[in-house]
Amino acid sequence: MSFKVPKGTQDILPGQTEKWQYVEGVIRDLCDKYRYNELRTPMFESTELFQRGVGDTTDIVQKEMYTFEDRAGRSLTLRPEGTASAVRAYVEHKMFGQADQPVKLYYTGPMFRYERQQAGRYRQFVQFGVEAIGSADPAIDAEVMALAMNVYTSLGLKDLKLVINSLGDKETREGHRQALIEHFQPVIGELCGDCQSRLEKNPLRILDCKVDHKHPAMATAPALTNYLTEESSAYFTKVKEYLDVLDVPYEVDPNLVRGLDYYNHTAFEIMITGDGFGSITTLCGGGRYNGLVEDIGGPAMPGIGFAMSIERLLLALDAKNIELELENHLDIYVVTMGESAKLKAVELVNQFRQNGISADMDYLERKMKAQMKTADRQEAKFVIVLGDAELEEQAVNVKEMATGNQQKVAFSELVTYLKK
Ligand code: HAM
C-alpha cells in the first residue's frame, strides 16, 4: 500500500520552504510598515458564518466547501477564505470599540476549497490577506491596493495589471439587479441550471458563470457602471485620485465582478501579464465590503481588504525567472577523524550554536573526503578538521572556504574568532 497527498494538496519540501519563509518575511515587513497587525483565527468555523458572509449563491458556498459535522452534530466548515473569519473576530472581540479605527489586520494561513485542480488552483492553498475595518475613506482603498501591489513589486515582479471597478452602493446594485433580471429573463432557458436559480436570487452571479460565459447575452448585459449613484461615482473618482497620488497604475474594467457576495464600491484584482504563466492569471483579489460587519452581527462598520495565495505568487516568480536572494546560513562545518575528535566536535558544535553560530558535523563516521564534500554542498563558510594532533595542541586550522585562507585558532578562542 502506498500513500499520496490528497488531490489538490501538496507537500512543500526543504528547498521550497526557504522560498516560502522568504516571501512570508517580505510580507511581514511590509505589513509592519503599513501598520497592519497579525490576526490568527481557527481553520474551521461554523458553516453558517460562510453561508452568510461569503453568500449562499456563490460557487464557494454551493460547491466548494469542506463541510462536516463534529461529534456533537455541529456543522463546521474548513475556511474557504479569511474575510468572514476576520470580521467574525472583529465583532466577537469588539474591536469596533478600539480607540484607533480602522482596525488593520493581516493573516496568512491555509484555506480550503473543493475546486478542480490545475496549475495555480489547489484544494488547500495559503492566503495572505489584509482587512481594514472601520473606515469608509477612499484613501484606505488606495492604501490596501498599494500594499497588495507592493508585495509583488518588492519581490521584483513587473508584468502586473491592477484592474479596478466600482460595484456601487445598495441603490446602485438594486437598479442594476432589476436591469439584469430584465435582460436575462428572455434567454434564461438557454442558460445552465445554476444561472436559472441565480436569476432571482443574485443575477450578478450570472456574469460570473463558468459554464455560460460565452453566451451572447453575457456580452450585452447591462453594465453596472451605468447604474452608479452620484455618491458611488464620486467615491470611485476619489479612489482613483488616491491611486494616482500613490503612483499605482490601474485599469478600470466595468465587467469586473468578484466571486464573493459581500462586495460593494471598490472591487479589484491583480493579474500577471506576458508570457510564462498558465491560464490562471489572477494573483490577488479584493474589495470593499460595507455591510458585512452588520451581516455578521456587529455594528455598521465599513471594511476593505484583499487576499492572494502564496502558491500563485511563487508560480509567478518562477514564470518570470526571478531568483530570490535566499541566504544559506551554515557558518561552520566540523570534520572529525576518530572517536576522541568526535567527542570534542560535539562539544564545539554545541558551543557554536549556543553562541548564535550555525554549525553542523558528521553523524555517519564517514571518511574525511566525504565529510568535506558535505561541507561544500552545504556551502559552509568555514571548515575545521579535528584529529588527534588538534586535540593535543588544543587548536585547529580554521579554513575560510571562499578564500581558502587558513588561520590557526585555539579551541578557547574559536567562538570569538568566528563571531568576528
Ligand atoms: P478570492 O478572489 O476568492 O477572494 O481569493 C483571493 C486569492 O486567493 C486569489 O486571487 C488567488 O490568489 C487565491 N486563491 C483563491 N482560490 C485559490 C485556489 N483554489 N488555489 C490557489 N489560490 C487560490 C477572497 O478570498 C477574499 N476573501 C479576498 C478579500 C479579502 N476581499 C476582501 N478582503
- The closest-lying atom of ligand 1 relative to the alpha carbon of residue 270 is 10
**283: confidence class by pLDDT, cuts 50, 70, 90:** very high
The residues, ordered by sequence, that sit 6+ positions from 411 with a Cβ below 8 Å of its Cβ are 344, 348, 394, 395, 396
363 with 238, same domain: the answer is no
376 with 247, same domain: the answer is no
Task: To the nearest 10°, report the CA torsion of 55, 61, 65, 68.
Answer: 90
pLDDT value at residue 400: 97
The verdict on the CB of residue 259 being under 6 Å from ligand 1 is yes
283 with 371, same domain: the answer is no
140 with 259, same domain: the answer is yes
pLDDT value at residue 339: 93
Residue at 199 is within a domain:
no
Ligand 1, atom 16, residue with closest C-alpha: 121
Report the alpha-carbon distance of residue 279 to residue 118 in Å, rounded. Answer: 9
Q: What is the pLDDT of residues 228-244, one digit of tens each?
A: 999 999 999 999 999 99
Residue at 83 is within a domain:
yes
295 phi/psi in degrees, rounded to 5: -60, -30
Boundary of a domain, candidates 319, 354, 388: 319
249 with 376, same domain: the answer is no
Kindly state the average pLDDT of the residues 402-419: 96
CA of 102 to the centre of ligand 1 (A): 22
240 with 386, same domain: the answer is no
Kindly state the average pLDDT of the residues 186-212: 89
- The amino acid occupying position 74 is R
- pLDDT of residue 213 exceeding 90, the answer is no
CATH for 378: 3.40.50.800
Kindly state the average pLDDT of the residues 158-181: 93
102 with 157, same domain: the answer is yes
- pLDDT of residue 316 exceeding 80, the answer is yes
**207: confidence class by pLDDT, cuts 50, 70, 90:** confident
**397: confidence class by pLDDT, cuts 50, 70, 90:** very high
Residue at 253 is within a domain:
yes
pLDDT value at residue 329: 85
Kindly state the average pLDDT of the residues 274-279: 77
Q: What is the pLDDT of residues 170-198, one digit of tens each?
A: 899 889 999 999 999 999 999 999 899 88
292 contacts 307 by C-beta, under 8 angstroms:
no
Question: What range defines the domain where residue 106 resides?
Answer: 17-169+229-319
- pLDDT of residue 246 exceeding 80, the answer is yes
353 contacts 329 by C-beta, under 8 angstroms:
no
pLDDT value at residue 45: 98
CA of 108 to the centre of ligand 1 (A): 12
49 with 131, same domain: the answer is yes
pLDDT value at residue 38: 98
66 with 112, same domain: the answer is yes
Boundary of a domain, candidates 288, 319, 350: 319
- pLDDT of residue 277 exceeding 80, the answer is no
Residue at 371 is within a domain:
yes
Residue at 28 is within a domain:
yes
Domain tally for the chain? 2
pLDDT value at residue 104: 98
Pocket test for ligand 1, best of 125, 268, 313, 317 (most atoms within 8 A of CB): 125
CATH for 259: 3.30.930.10
Mean pLDDT of the chain: 95
Residue with cell 442594476: 176
Boundary of a domain, candidates 299, 319, 339: 319
CA of 174 to the centre of ligand 1 (A): 26
- pLDDT of residue 279 exceeding 80, the answer is no
Ligand 1, atom 17, residue with closest C-alpha: 121
**204: confidence class by pLDDT, cuts 50, 70, 90:** confident
255 with 377, same domain: the answer is no
Residue at 201 is within a domain:
no
Pocket test for ligand 1, best of 9, 50, 54, 81 (most atoms within 8 A of CB): 81
- Nearest CA among 20, 268, 286 for reference residue 129: 286
The verdict on the CB of residue 285 being under 6 Å from ligand 1 is yes
Distance of CA 84 to the CA centre of its chain: 16
341 with 297, same domain: the answer is no
Residue at 209 is within a domain:
no
pLDDT value at residue 280: 77
CA of 364 to the centre of ligand 1 (A): 46
77 with 126, same domain: the answer is yes
- The closest-lying atom of ligand 1 relative to the alpha carbon of residue 305 is 33
Q: What is the pLDDT of residues 58-102, one digit of tens each?
A: 899 999 999 999 999 999 999 999 999 999 999 999 999 999 999
Residue at 216 is within a domain:
no
- The closest-lying atom of ligand 1 relative to the alpha carbon of residue 60 is 3
- Nearest CA among 417, 415, 407 for reference residue 348: 415
